[in-house]
Structure 1
Amino acid sequence: MLSGKVAVITGAGPGLGRTLAGLMVEEGARVVVSARSRAALEETAAAGGALAVPADVRDPDQVQALARTTVDRFGRIDVLVNAAFPGTHRKNVLDMDPDYLELWRSAVETATYGTLLACRYLAPYMVEGGGGSIVNVTSLSSRTGYAGRSDYATGKAGVHLLSHCLADELGPLGVRVNCVAPGWIASDALTTWMETRARDEGTTFQTVYDHDVDRMALRRIATEEDVARAVIFLAGDGAKAITGATIDVNGGQLFT
């Protein structure tokens, strides 16, 4: 599906980014992975057979260097996946002190401004090469608000409308822009969160798990591979008539 294509993944640390990099290599792509943490990035690159290029997506100079390094090495860019994780610090607006407000701004900048910068500096190489695909990883949290998650939700929601704008701007030039919006993803972090909820609610992990999964139409939590496969579909030629769209990968937890 991606044979011969050159793909860049931002936010490619542990978890989804690492899984996606490995699967893209298996699909025949030449993959460049990028993140702020060099140690985690090198683990991702080693596990997936990709090239590691550290970069902070909020820094225009570093994003431009990522684009140049990719083109110098592989000659072009066909696919860009923006998957930088802005983090969430779970605080009510009335409890936000000045230090937290800076964390809030940083989270939104990572998600929305970071996505914009990556598109600004990598998309021209796609246009030059005759076209390409941008896939932005957003979240179920950008579809509906939850208390204490306004930083994460706002940043990811901004990416949805940014993607619509860029799809309209870049479509005539042969570049498609779409989103994948995961819900919960089966992981150690999710398990820890459910265990914490169980303790807070005075119940068991299994009770919390069953309650949450029973709200999903498919009665299961999506895996990293489930989300990665949706990204790969949108990145490939099988989706060549799709732009400005969002694929929700949440097991039927939320219909949009």
Structure 2
Amino acid sequence: MLLSDKVAVITGAGPGLGRTLAVLMAREGADVAVAARSADVLAGIAAQVRAEGREALAVPTDIADPAQARRLASAVIDRFGRVDVLVNAAFPGTHRKNVLDMDDAYLEQWRSAVETAAYGTLLACRHLAPHMVAAGRGSIVNITSMSSRTGYAGRSDYAAGKAAVHLLSHCLADELGPSGVRVNCVAPGWIASGVLDDWMRARADAEGVPYEEVRARDVAAMALRRIATEEDVARAVLFLASDLAAATTGATIDVNGGQRFT
């Protein structure tokens, strides 16, 4: 198995990609620690990891809080004694609003969103990467986005947060490489989900056309003519986390069905 007897930590482990990734890593032999704000969601993910025959640790965490990020690292080391893989996927759900339409409350929400993505990723790396450095090995995979290099109206918080993580990953790759720790990114495009379907339906309603027409138009713009799934993204993360990518650092794998070439 690709992660046999390794310890993986996933921050931002929500009910979508985070859950899929945790289960996949467990099937590939890893014990998994999951961190997010929702204790109930984490408990469900941990149960699925244990159902795969691996150990699980659920640590409710606001990863942008320095004390909680430090507590997460301590909990992982106390339980497992080491960390081999760190996946940072935390980013809060956001609404779509143009910059000139933001009131004071939304401006604060913007700041919080970017802080969760960028500062939260920094804190997770700051407190967990030293254990990788001490071991002389490890892999950090940061989930960015197609939006980390292409901005869209109404999505400045998402784009800014993901772009910060993208370049932070380059800096960390340069800093940690001499110690045997690799740092890479996976940049999804659209991921098949109910949220994406709802957005397509909203666009169809605004245009006065059927949902199927909007979806077909979007898919036709992708080279592979299909929308990526959570499993597609998780497998790219798994590759970078594993020894198959032993000579890869500072890189980004785009998983967008050919919606954008980079």
Within a 5 Å distance, the mapping from 1:96-111 to structure 2 comes to: 96-111=102-117
Q: CA shift at 1:48, angstroms?
A: 2.6
Question: Does residue 118 of structure 2 align to residue 118 of structure 1?
Answer: no
Q: CA shift at 1:14, angstroms?
A: 0.5
2:31 paired residue number: 30
Partner of 1:14: helix, strand, or coil?
coil
1:247 paired residue number: 253
1:105-134 Cα shifts (integer Å, max 9, x gaps): 001001111000000000001111221000
**Aligned-residue CA RMSD (Å):** 0.8
Q: CA shift at 1:47, angstroms?
A: 2.2
Q: CA shift at 1:88, angstroms?
A: 2.1
Within a 5 Å distance, the mapping from 1:29-108 to structure 2 comes to: 29-49=30-50, 50-108=56-114
Partner of 1:53: helix, strand, or coil?
strand
Answer whether contact 1:18 1:48 (CA < 8 A) is retained. Answer: no
Partner of 2:227: helix, strand, or coil?
coil
2:168 paired residue number: 162
Q: CA shift at 1:143, angstroms?
A: 1.7
Q: CA shift at 1:2, angstroms?
A: 0.5
1:134-193 Cα shifts (integer Å, max 9, x gaps): 000001111211100000110001111100000000000111000000000011111111
Higher deviation after alignment, 81-90 or 101-110: 81-90
Within a 5 Å distance, the mapping from 1:214-225 to structure 2 comes to: 214-225=220-231
Q: Distance in 1 between matches of 2:94 and 2:168?
A: 21
Structure 1: give runs of 5+ residues left out of the alignment: none
Q: CA shift at 1:44, angstroms?
A: 1.6
Partner of 2:60: helix, strand, or coil?
coil
Q: CA shift at 1:87, angstroms?
A: 2.3
1:2 paired residue number: 3
Question: Does residue 14 of structure 2 align to residue 13 of structure 1?
Answer: yes
Structure 2: give runs of 5+ residues left out of the alignment: 51-55
Higher deviation after alignment, 224-233 or 81-90: 81-90
177, 193, 203: which one aligns with 1:197? 203
Letter in 2 for 1:38: A
Letter in 2 for 1:15: G
Q: Distance in 2 between matches of 1:46 and 1:214?
A: 39
Q: CA shift at 1:13, angstroms?
A: 1.2
Higher deviation after alignment, 205-214 or 43-52: 43-52
1:182 paired residue number: 188
Q: TM-score if structure 2 supplies the norm length?
A: 0.96
1:235 paired residue number: 241
Q: Distance in 1 between matches of 2:49 and 2:81?
A: 21
Q: Distance in 2 between matches of 1:125 and 1:64?
A: 12
Question: Does residue 130 of structure 2 align to residue 130 of structure 1?
Answer: no
Q: CA shift at 1:197, angstroms?
A: 1.0
